[in-house]
């Protein structure tokens, strides 16, 4: 893997969690209150059906149950827990709880991907957690047990889905948009009956609600997940998981720009620490290693 290509893949993939960082703002400002299942279904199902229709391909053989597993982990369960956390916790606190995802990927990667835990990975995990803590925790930050448990469950779901996606790859001949559509459709379909019988539909939908749903479905799901799954195919699982730290960073920046929240010196230090953690976790080869890979042996082996 060329280092230049790796940098480009990382920069493109990080756009997905950066977009997801806006979920907290959109949920609290534009969506109907206390409707995590409705938000999850509307975000996933329409985008998934569009991608499946455009791709004109359904899973075959073993990929039926794999698509179901990945759709539940990456989309259905993750969306639900994400929105529950967003409704019960301030955006920054929810992002902090979800930031344990790289640590879960680190452990799962050993058993499922044959990865090795390196000291630099542990350092990056600690730096990322500390950075997110400095970035989002405030003296008046509220903690809610349901929100915290939902955030941890969402992080575990997403981490498991990421590792399994890396392990299984994609079926031959199936593009990233279609692969994304399968999972969005499964995730939305699994949540649909729970939404209809558990929450029901709101009495009314405002123009703000519609704009929020459109944003989450088109930008936050259709486009962002296509970029995310492409990145999983191009980069190591752990490197992709560290890119998720862009989510709390984006949430904090949006709070500053849109809601007029202030940024303290500690938050700026936290932001710099998060960026440093993401950078050192990326698989960029050194020049010496790249040069060795291009040297041809002069004698038969």
The domain spans of the chain are 3-292
Sign of CA dihedral 157, 112, 242, 12: negative
Q: Diameter of the chain by CA atoms?
A: 77
Backbone angles phi, psi at 73, to 5 degrees: -70, -50
For 36, what's the count of Cα atoms within 13 Å in the CB-facing half-sphere? 18
Check residue 142 and give its pLDDT. Answer: 58
Check residue 166 and give its pLDDT. Answer: 92
Which residue has 């704009």 as its token pair?
Answer: 211
Q: CA-to-CA distance for 194 and 37, rounded, in angstroms? A: 7
Tokens found for residue 111? 């058993």
Q: CA-to-CA distance for 246 and 156, rounded, in angstroms? A: 18
Check residue 139 and give its pLDDT. Answer: 57
Check residue 91 and give its pLDDT. Answer: 58
Check residue 284 and give its pLDDT. Answer: 58
Helix (H) or strand (E) holding 277: helix 265-281
pLDDT digits (tens, 9 = 90+) for 220-229: 899 999 999 9
Ranges of residues in the chain whose predicted pLDDT is under 70: 1-4, 90-92, 95, 136-143, 261, 284-301
Check residue 192 and give its pLDDT. Answer: 94
* pTM score: 0.81
pLDDT digits (tens, 9 = 90+) for 85-102: 877 776 567 767 777 888
């Amino acid at each position: 893997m060329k280092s230049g290509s790796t940098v480009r893949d990382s920069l493109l993939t990080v756009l997905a969690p950066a977009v997801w960082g806006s979920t907290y703002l959109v949920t609290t400002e534009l969506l109907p209150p206390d409707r995590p299942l409705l938000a999850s279904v509307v975000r996933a199902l329409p985008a998934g059906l569009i991608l499946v229709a455009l791709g004109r391909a359904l899973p075959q053989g073993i990929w039926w149950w794999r698509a179901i597993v990945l759709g539940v982990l990456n989309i259905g369960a993750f969306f639900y827990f994400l929105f529950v956390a967003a409704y019960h916790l301030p955006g920054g606190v929810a992002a902090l709880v979800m930031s344990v995802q790289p640590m879960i990927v680190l452990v799962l990667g050993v058993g499922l991907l044959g990865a090795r835990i390196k000291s630099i990975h542990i350092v990056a995990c600690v730096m990322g957690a500390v950075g997110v803590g400095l970035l989002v925790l405030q003296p008046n930050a509220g903690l809610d047990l349901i929100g915290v448990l939902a955030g941890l469950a969402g992080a575990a779901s997403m981490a498991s889905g990421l590792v399994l996606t890396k392990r299984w790859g994609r079926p031959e001949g199936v593009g990233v948009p279609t692969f994304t559509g399968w999972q969005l459709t499964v995730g939305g379909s699994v949540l649909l009956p729970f939404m209809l019988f558990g929450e029901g539909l709101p009495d009314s939908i405002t123009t703000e609600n519609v704009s929020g749903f459109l944003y989450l479905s088109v930008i936050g799901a259709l486009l962002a997940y296509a970029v995310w799954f492409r990145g999983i195919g191009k980069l190591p699982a752990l490197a992709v998981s560290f890119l998720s730290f862009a989510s709390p960073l984006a949430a904090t920046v949006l709070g500053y720009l849109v809601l007029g929240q202030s940024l303290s010196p500690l938050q700026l230090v936290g932001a710099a620490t998060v960026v440093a953690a993401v950078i050192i976790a990326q698989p960029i080869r050194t020049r010496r290693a790249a040069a060795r890979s291009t040297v041809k042996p002069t004698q038969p082996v």
